[in-house]
């Protein structure tokens, strides 16, 4: 069990070399749902609407929407296409991205139908991020896809891209006969920009680069120095495929709360962030046991993992603290080769306090925006 704890804690050696700093930094917002039981789901939706409208006005790049099922952690986002359709008419310029569609759970034609509608409604402001899915229970939606989900993901991204372009694609139909379809309505954008969700796997970063995808990632099991090595693999994958290695985007999720007083931030985030990590930990541990088996973790092991994760994230893996603290983390991210930071804001901190913090975040982002 100690080996499992080490793996889930993410205790990995630090990379020795960092990538050259990237120019500037783009900022987006991301939602994943807190697990507060004192806040109604309707209020959680209203909060993410308010944050999205702020990001739209403040010149942020995109809003990232997840897909989650059957667990209190994140499952108010059971269908990101519906969430986007709600927000699109309330915004003017921000892009809508998924982080991401669990593609093995859905028919690719269905995914294109949903998001082509949103592309039309938004006047071409849709990008899609895809993942394989990981929670076994989610696959009641597609029971035969679980064991082969990574292959299905890899194959079906290209199918989605073809359908998006308007190419006819044949699928199995009733009675085993093939049915060739072209998806309508037609999206406004002739080509779909794709993000691939990659957490730890070096091969995933290489694959994303070779396929010309962008990458959405997080510091689960890594620090920013170790992330630099993975970004370098992504750039190498693009180079191997004959693509401009500097053209792809690596987006990093960071939990975010910036205030003038660091201790106020610490006090504000500790309880909700520990609850957030605990809920996420339970989901990930369950998924690991479902896939690999083994002995469930003891309460002492869970407590150790929770404390480690909280302390590490507060110090080195989040935009927590003062605006100066935030700038230091952004500079470290730039040095690691990160192009965009997706600021996760709904992890359980008090909503009025998060709203109060937005001015600091806006000024931080504006400082990295190209002149003109």
The 10s digit of each residue's pLDDT in 97-112 is 999 899 999 999 999 9
In 120-191, DSSP assigns E strands to 126-131, 169-172, 178-181
Q: Tell me: pLDDT of 179 over 80.
A: yes
Q: Does a structural domain hold residue 6?
A: no
How far, in Å, CA of 163 to CA of 169, rounded?
Answer: 7
Q: Tell me: pLDDT of 159 over 70.
A: yes
- Express each pLDDT in 180-234 by its tens digit: 999 999 999 999 999 999 987 899 999 999 999 999 999 876 788 889 999 999 9
Q: 91 and 58 in contact (C-beta within 8 Å)?
A: no
| C-alpha distances out from residue 131 to 103, 223, 236, 291, 328, Å | 6, 22, 22, 17, 30
pLDDT bracket for residue 284 (50, 70, 90): low
Provide the domain count of the chain: 1
Q: What is the pLDDT of residue 221?
A: 63
Dig out the tokens for 9 from the structure: 């804690």
Q: Does a structural domain hold residue 372?
A: no
Q: 62-76, 154-168, 249-263: which has the minimum mean pLDDT?
A: 62-76
In the chain, DSSP assigns E strands to 26-30, 62-65, 95-98, 101-102, 126-131, 169-172, 178-181, 194-197, 214-217, 250-258, 318-321, 340-344
Give me the CATH number covering residue 276. 3.20.20.30
In 92-141, DSSP assigns E strands to 95-98, 101-102, 126-131
Torsion sign over Cα 295, 197, 222, 275: negative
Dig out the tokens for 205 from the structure: 């970063």
Q: 1-10, 67-76, 190-199: which has the minimum mean pLDDT?
A: 1-10
Structural domain boundaries enclosing 314: 23-366
Q: 2-11, 65-74, 157-166: which has the minimum mean pLDDT?
A: 2-11
Mean pLDDT of 38-63: 94
Number of helical (H) and strand (E) elements in the chain, helices listed first: 11, 12
Q: What is the pLDDT of residue 274?
A: 79
Q: 1-10, 50-59, 81-90, 256-265: which has the minimum mean pLDDT?
A: 1-10
- The percent of residues in the chain predicted with pLDDT above 70, rounded, is 87
pTM of the model: 0.86
How far, in Å, CA of 324 to CA of 351, rounded?
Answer: 22
Q: Does a structural domain hold residue 12?
A: no
Q: What is the pLDDT of residue 290?
A: 62
Q: 6-15, 155-164, 183-192: which has the minimum mean pLDDT?
A: 6-15
Q: Count other Cβ atoms within 10 Å, centred on residue 341.
A: 27
Q: Does a structural domain hold residue 300?
A: yes
Q: Does a structural domain hold residue 186?
A: yes
**Residue predicted with more confidence, 35 or 140:** 140
How far, in Å, CA of 159 to CA of 83, rounded?
Answer: 24
Q: What is the pLDDT of residue 277?
A: 73
Dig out the tokens for 366 from the structure: 């504006």
Q: Does a structural domain hold residue 5?
A: no
Q: Does a structural domain hold residue 1?
A: no
Q: Does a structural domain hold residue 2?
A: no
Q: What is the pLDDT of residue 311?
A: 77
Q: Count other Cβ atoms within 10 Å, centred on residue 204.
A: 21
């Amino acid at each position: 069990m100690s080996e499992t704890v080490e793996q889930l804690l993410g205790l990995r050696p630090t990379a020795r070399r960092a990538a050259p700093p990237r120019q500037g930094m783009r900022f987006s917002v991301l939602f994943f749902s807190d697990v507060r039981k004192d806040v109604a789901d309707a209020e959680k939706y209203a909060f993410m609407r308010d944050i999205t409208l702020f990001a739209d006005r403040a010149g942020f790049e995109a809003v990232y929407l997840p897909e989650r099922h059957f667990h209190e952690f994140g499952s108010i986002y059971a269908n990101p296409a519906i969430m986007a359709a709600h927000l699109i008419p309330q915004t003017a310029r921000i892009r809508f991205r998924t982080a991401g569609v669990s593609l093995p759970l859905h028919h690719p034609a269905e995914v294109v139908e949903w998001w082509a509608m949103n592309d039309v409604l938004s006047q071409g402001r849709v990008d899609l991020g895809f993942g394989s899915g990981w929670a076994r229970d989610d696959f009641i939606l597609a029971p035969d896809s679980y064991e082969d989900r990574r292959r299905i993901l890899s194959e079906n991204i290209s199918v989605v891209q073809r359908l998006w372009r308007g190419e006819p694609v044949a699928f199995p139909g009733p009675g085993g006969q093939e049915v060739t379809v072209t998806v309508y309505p037609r999206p406004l954008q002739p080509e779909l920009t794709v993000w691939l969700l990659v957490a730890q796997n070096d091969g995933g970063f290489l694959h994303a680069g070779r396929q010309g995808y962008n990458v959405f990632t997080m510091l689960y099991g890594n620090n920013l120095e170790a992330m630099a090595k993975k970004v370098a693999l992504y750039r190498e994958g693009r180079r191997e495929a004959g693509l401009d290695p500097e053209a792809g985007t690596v987006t990093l999720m960071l939990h975010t709360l910036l205030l003038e007083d660091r201790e106020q931030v610490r006090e504000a985030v500790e309880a909700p962030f520990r609850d957030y990590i605990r809920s996420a930990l339970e989901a990930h541990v369950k998924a690991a046991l479902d896939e690999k088996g083994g002995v469930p973790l003891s309460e002492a092991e869970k407590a150790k993992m929770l404390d480690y994760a909280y302390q590490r994230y507060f110090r080195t893996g989040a935009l927590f603290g003062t605006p100066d603290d935030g700038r230091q983390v952004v500079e470290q991210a730039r040095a690691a080769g990160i192009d965009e930071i997706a600021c996760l804001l709904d992890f359980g901190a008090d909503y009025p306090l998060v709203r109060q913090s937005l001015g600091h975040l806006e000024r931080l982002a504006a400082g990295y925006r190209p002149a003109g």
